[in-house]
Every structure is written in structure tokens, then in C-alpha cells.
Structure 1
């Protein structure tokens, strides 16, 4: 399939991978594909997205906002779990203290040295560790199933339009058609009507053709 990709489409995939690496993510999701499509305004997808008010900066901010909300939800669940265990006589802080007495400070944190341990209840230490952006992953970063679906749908869109290539416009059409990924969610959060976005892409292709 990739042999059908135009230079712009190939660059989109490269930038998607670079964006995932920059954000410290160990996968390439639909949100990274969206960032790849925003690499410039000289492509069909880039120009249509720019005309819709979508920028890389806003998408990155949306990704970080969604991640933060997820981390806060995890913390709330951890607090509720700890409270539920206390009602049946299990104190997680006491359990942690007993483990560290036997195996050393930070034993439940993958060996975090005591001097680097963050003070407070265990869930606060864990949350603080998760807050730090991980180091950029090295080597190959895999596509998520949804991102793979977007690329598969881009081929179907190209075939439906009787195009012998896959360009950024087809990738954007695939992202819109997939509809369930984080990339589509971000577009909706930004006030974009996905069906209208699709119509704009098709209109741009008709105008250019």
C-alpha cells in the first residue's frame, strides 16, 4: 500500500512518528496522524485543516489536555480503591511501609532510590512519577489498530475516487471515516463537523481536478 503514497503522504507518516516520539508516546495513534497532516498548508489536507482553524499547536494542547484528564481519572480511581480497602481493614500505606521495611525504599516503584522518592501517600508518588513525560522511545514505534484502520481507509477512499495514488487528502478522508479515534475526537472538540470537513476535501479535489 505504501508504494501508492505520494511524497506528501509519506511525509505525513514520518511526521506522525516524529510527533509520537516528541510526545513520549510508544504508539502512533490517529492523533499523531492528524499532527502529520498538519505539517504544512501546501497539501490538500493541510490547507483544508488550516481553513477549518486547526493548527498543530492546538492539537498538541488537546492531546495533553486529554492525557491530563485521564491521569486525574486514574488518580480518583486509586483514591476510591484505597478508601474501599480501608473499609475492610486494609491500609495500603501500611502495606507499602511493610514491603519497604523488608525490601528497601522504593521497592514498589521499580527500585526508586530513597533520596529520589516523592513524599506522600503511595498513589501521590505514583501519580507524580507518571506526570513526568517519558523519554522519547527509540527505534520502531507501532501504529495503533485505529491508526492502521485510517491508513486502510485512505486506500479505500483513493480507490472509490478512482485515484491511482494515496495523498494527504485520502488520509484525512480515512481519518474522518474511521470517526472513533482520538484524531476525530479532537476535530470534533475543536468544533469541526466531520461530514462538512469531508465535503470540503472533496470540493477541493474537484476544484483542483
Structure 2
């Protein structure tokens, strides 16, 4: 039996990524690390798309009011109402500063700050983020384009239609249909 490449595998897909698309994937990993996340989610892909000065896709996103800072602020707000949680715990007589001091005395400084990653260690993609990358390939095929660019990743994100990135777009009042049309136009 002849050995060959599997049709449509993940490696095959990544071979079709342009330099810009690969930089988005690397940027998403950096965003996940910066935000102390244990996985790369749709929100990290969105942040990486926005952190590309000079990119036509980033310019389209900016026209819809999407900036790295605006999305980060929205994500921090979506992360939970920590002030409300702190107030609720205080009402129960729990002193969060005392808890932090005690935990850090036992486990070291920053023990409550989330997972620590060794530099260069791979962070896995969430199932939704993987789906976005697969949909990016489909978007390129639909547009009859041989390679997958950052614009296709943006279209994959919009097509997936769920996840934290889409919640942020809804929270910011973005017209997803209009955004999709403008990203497609930028790719043509």
C-alpha cells in the first residue's frame, strides 16, 4: 500500500496558511499566555487579528470599532464580575486580602494568578478555535483561493458564530453581517 498524505489533515491545512495567517496563530498563543489562559480560544484569535498594523483585515475590523484595547476591555468585563464576587464574599465575612496572603505564604507569590507556562510551551486550541481554523480553510475554498490568510481566519471566526469572540462582537454592537461582507471584499 502506497503511503501518501492524508487528505484534509491539520498539517495539510497549515501548509496553506500565509505568513500573515501563521502570525495570527502565533499571536493567539501569545495572547493566551498574556491573559493567563490554559487554552487558545476564539477571543485570542480575535485579539491576534487586531494586533496586525497595516493588515487589510485589521483595518476592516477597526472600521467596525474593533481595536485590541476595546476587545481586551470587553474580555476583562466578560471574565466575570470579580467586584461583585468580592462584595458577596465580604458579605459572608471572607477577607480576600487575607485569603491571598495566606495562599501566597503557603504556595508562593502569584499562586492565584492562573496557570504558569514555561516559555515556548505549546498551549492547546479550544475546540471552537480549532473549528475557526477549519472554517478558515472552507472560506478560502468558497472564495476559490489557494492559500489561507488572516482574512480567512476572520471569516472563519464569524462563520463559527459562537464563543467568547462572538460575545464580544455582540457586546460591542458589531453588525456581523456587514463585517463579514467587508472582510470578504478586502479579500477579493
CA distance in 1 between partners of 2:15 and 2:31 (Å): 22
Q: Counterpart of 1:68 in 2: which secondary structure?
A: coil
Q: Counterpart of 1:42 in 2: which secondary structure?
A: coil
Deviation, 1:43, is 1.9
CA RMSD of aligned residues (A): 2.8
Deviation, 1:180, is 0.8
CA distance in 2 between partners of 1:112 and 1:32 (Å): 29
TM-score, normalised on structure 2? 0.76
Which residue is 1:160 aligned to?
A: 142
CA distance in 1 between partners of 2:80 and 2:117 (Å): 20
In the alignment, which of 185, 201, 204 is matched to residue 167 of structure 2? Answer: 185
1:171 counterpart = 2:124: no
Distance 1:71 1:172, change over 3 A: farther
Which residue is 2:123 aligned to?
A: 141
Distance 1:183 1:70, change over 3 A: farther
Distance 1:161 1:196, change over 3 A: same
CA distance in 2 between partners of 1:67 and 1:171 (Å): 24
CA distance in 2 between partners of 1:72 and 1:140 (Å): 34
1:197 counterpart = 2:179: yes
Which residue is 1:56 aligned to?
A: 68
Q: Counterpart of 1:165 in 2: which secondary structure?
A: coil
CA distance in 2 between partners of 1:31 and 1:71 (Å): 22
Does the 8 Å contact 2:57/2:186 carry over to 1? Answer: no
Which residue is 1:21 aligned to?
A: 33
Distance 1:154 1:28, change over 3 A: same
Deviation, 1:137, is 2.1
Q: Counterpart of 2:80 in 1: which secondary structure?
A: helix
Deviation, 1:173, is 0.4
Does the 8 Å contact 1:23/1:133 carry over to 2? Answer: no
1:73-110: per-residue Cα shift (whole Å, max 9, x none)?
6996x89xx9xxxxxxxxxx9xxxxxxxxxxxx9xx9x
TM-score, normalised on structure 1? 0.69
Distance 1:174 1:135, change over 3 A: same
Does the 8 Å contact 2:40/2:124 carry over to 1? Answer: yes
CA distance in 2 between partners of 1:154 and 1:74 (Å): 40
